[in-house]
Structure 1
Amino acid sequence: MQRSEHRILTTHTGSLPRPPELTRLYARRARGEAVDAAAVAAAGQAALHRIVPSQLEAGLDVINNGEQQRDSFALYLRHRLTGFGGESQRTTFADIEAYPEFQAGFAQQSAEKEFVSNTAFLPAAVAPVTYADPGVIEAECEDFAAALAPAAGRYAEAFLTAPSPGIVAAIVQNRHYDTEDAYFAALGAALAVEYRAIVAHGFLLQLDCPDLALERHCSYRDRPLADFLDFVERVVATINTAIAGLPRDRVRLHVCWGNYEAPHDHDVPLEEILPILLRAEVGGLVLPFANPRHAHEVGCLARMPLAADQLLVAGVIDTLTNFVEHPEVVAERIIRAAEVLGDPRRVLAGTDCGFDTSAGRGRVAPDVVWAKLRSLAEGARLASARLFPG
């Protein structure tokens, strides 16, 4: 994982807007409609080859495939893992349910869009969970490498994402294993196939772990904090087992409180979970510090610092509003993170979360997404001039 040795490097958190036709195909397939697999594959390939140069044109340094060949940051696994079937029921987020008027408007907005739902049509684990065909992730890595080839020398690093065992367990509920820990272990072993393939192909691995914060106001909304922290500990232990032997500096871990615009006043504070997050054997954390609920929590890293070899990807762009952050605001956020860590070389500038974590669910218009990313790059240039004088 490259440091910001001479200037602040820029990146993002994974998903980028998918073309409307690709979104429609994914949404139809998720609803159980018959969709031509070849058409989905062709549309995903075309989108991939557009998304790589778009990131470079926006000024990003550490780029990915935009998750174009997946319909969701986590639910794409229903097409790759065995043992899924039946139906799961996702618990309502506490902050949405606490505001009935907001909840009604939120539901209406969702009903008006074509998207892949992260709360409906969810499978359950009804049989042993394994990774069905390692050739699938191998092909995804090879496709990405091919899309990157024309851009050789124009980017610093490339990454691919894969979800935490905990978020998969929260969405795809256990109907098969005797204990939750046994389910975690099975998911960890299955997901390790993707984790290891991504690193073996020379890409950074980003672990997407919203569960490590989000599930406090979802699955654990009516349970004591101690129960949730125990969940976080067990998931981090499962992750460490799954990535054992991978170089720390090839893995970064993303945590957030859910990529949806809502009150978020039921979120667990970062200070409660950070001591456990720091046990993850990873080279860096990707944390959201642009949104109004958690921006101040960058200060937690002064009291509970990262390990000396770890980097911070600081979220300095909000992925849930169509405000285009002024580059000076971006620069101020980057500089604040560098001051807290005490070394600007250990800071990269990124986004709070993905822009389209389930196809069609993105809140930000695609053209505004690219304006935001250009502002990220410009803000990083301003911050670099102040953090690396001369």
Structure 2
Amino acid sequence: MPPTARRIRTTHTGSLPRPRALTRLHARRARGEAVDAAELAAASAAAVAAIVPKQRAAGIDIPNDGEQGRESFVLYLRDRLTGLGGSSSRGGFQDIEAYPEFKAEMQAGMAGREAASVTTNLPAAIGPVAYVGEAAMAAECAQFRAALGDAEGFMAAPSPGILAAIVQNQHYATDDAYLAALAKALGAEYRAILDAGFTLQIDCPDLALERHGAWQDRPLAEFLAFSERVVAAINGAIEGLPRERIRMHVCWGNYEAPHDSDVPFEDIWPVIREARVGGFVLPFANPRHAHEHRVFRRLPLAGDQVLVAGVIDTLTHFVEHPEVVAERLERIAESMGDPARLMAGTDCGFDTSAGRGRVAADVVWAKLASMAEGARIASGRLFGAG
């Protein structure tokens, strides 16, 4: 992730809409139904081959595979780790539970929808966790490389913290031991992505989301201590790997809700910035956190780090005007003090669990194209570039 020089380049956060037939296969498999492996592999390969040129056409400089072959940004790992089985239960989020009318409408909107869930049919850690996904990861990387060619691209993998939050510990004596085991296992996936020539994005919603999730009834200090342990575990997992090719994504959850229980960015940034990565992917488009880039005036990024700023909301069908995108980028660049290290991105993925995305596919591409145009406009103002 080198500095973007004289132009604001574009990327996004990860998942993109999957074809309906592929979504159906992922959803069935996530429910525990039998799915033909060859059919799923063929559908995933076709989707990846199609998604890369679509990103190019929309003006995305650094694309990915859209996570087409994964049921979700995290639970695809149920097939790549040993020691998983049984069941976990995941509690609710504070901002949803506080509004029962909203919660009922939200549940009604999802009823009967063909989608992979991250709240039901969850496994637990019932034995020693180890990584056995080498062949699957190699195939995934090769598939993306075939579609991408020699160009620059990124692939994502989850943090040990979010995996621990969803797949509960029923084996290790302490949660810290479980976190260490997950970090060691995920380190194999991190290295595989880098070895394949891609930028690695580590998805860490736990570093913000879990404050109003698993830690909602605990003091802020305890949540921050948890976050410090996660960041330390990640730093251990990526030790010796090329820092400049690793970026970290943090968000407060990719769901439309009040979000008035979200922990302020200024409270968590001192911990997050301890991650030894080359850049951060952070959401600044949504109405709850759009102002928080001002934190960088007081606590800046390191001089060699890049910021991928979310300037597109992934939860609304509004297509942001390019001038709105440009203004957002200019404001963030002012807070950073260095537009050469700013990139344009999305707040989160558009379909983090197959079928649960809120934005229709044709609107997704319009939003990404508008983001690219906005980045071009901002580049002209900030650098005098065309």
TM-score by length of 2: 0.99
Q: Does 1:66 align with 2:62?
A: no
1:133 Cα offset (Å): 3.5
Structure 1 residue corresponding to 2:217, chosen from 219, 222, 227: 222
The equivalent residue for 2:175 is 180
The equivalent residue for 2:187 is 192
Secondary structure of the 1:207 match is strand
Secondary structure of the 1:34 match is coil
Q: Deviations over 1:32-88 (max 9, x none)?
A: 111101110000000000000000000000110000011100000001111110110
The equivalent residue for 2:100 is 100
CA distance in 1, matches of 2:46, 2:60: 20
Structure 1 residue corresponding to 2:377, chosen from 370, 382, 385: 382
Structure 1 residue corresponding to 2:255, chosen from 257, 260, 282: 260
The equivalent residue for 1:235 is 230
Secondary structure of the 2:88 match is coil
CA distance in 2, matches of 1:110, 1:97: 16
Secondary structure of the 2:291 match is helix
The equivalent residue for 2:290 is 295
**Structure 2 residue runs without a partner (length 5+):** none
1:226 Cα offset (Å): 0.8
C-alpha contact 2:15 2:67 (8 A) present in aligned 1: yes
Secondary structure of the 1:63 match is coil
CA distance in 2, matches of 1:88, 1:320: 27
Secondary structure of the 1:227 match is helix
Secondary structure of the 2:316 match is coil
Secondary structure of the 1:285 match is strand
Task: Report percent identity of matched pairs.
Answer: 67
The equivalent residue for 2:367 is 372
Please list every run of at least 4 consecutive aligned residues from structure 1 whose deviation after the TM superposition is greater than 4 angstroms.
none
The equivalent residue for 2:134 is 134
The equivalent residue for 2:18 is 18
CA RMSD of aligned residues (A): 0.8
Number of aligned pairs?
A: 385
CA distance in 2, matches of 1:27, 1:136: 19
CA distance in 2, matches of 1:9, 1:181: 38
C-alpha contact 2:13 2:348 (8 A) present in aligned 1: yes
The equivalent residue for 2:352 is 357
Q: Does 1:341 align with 2:325?
A: no
1:2 Cα offset (Å): 2.9
CA distance in 1, matches of 2:131, 2:162: 17
Secondary structure of the 1:123 match is strand
1:112 Cα offset (Å): 3.3
TM-score by length of 1: 0.98
The equivalent residue for 1:87 is 87
Secondary structure of the 2:201 match is strand
The equivalent residue for 1:281 is 276
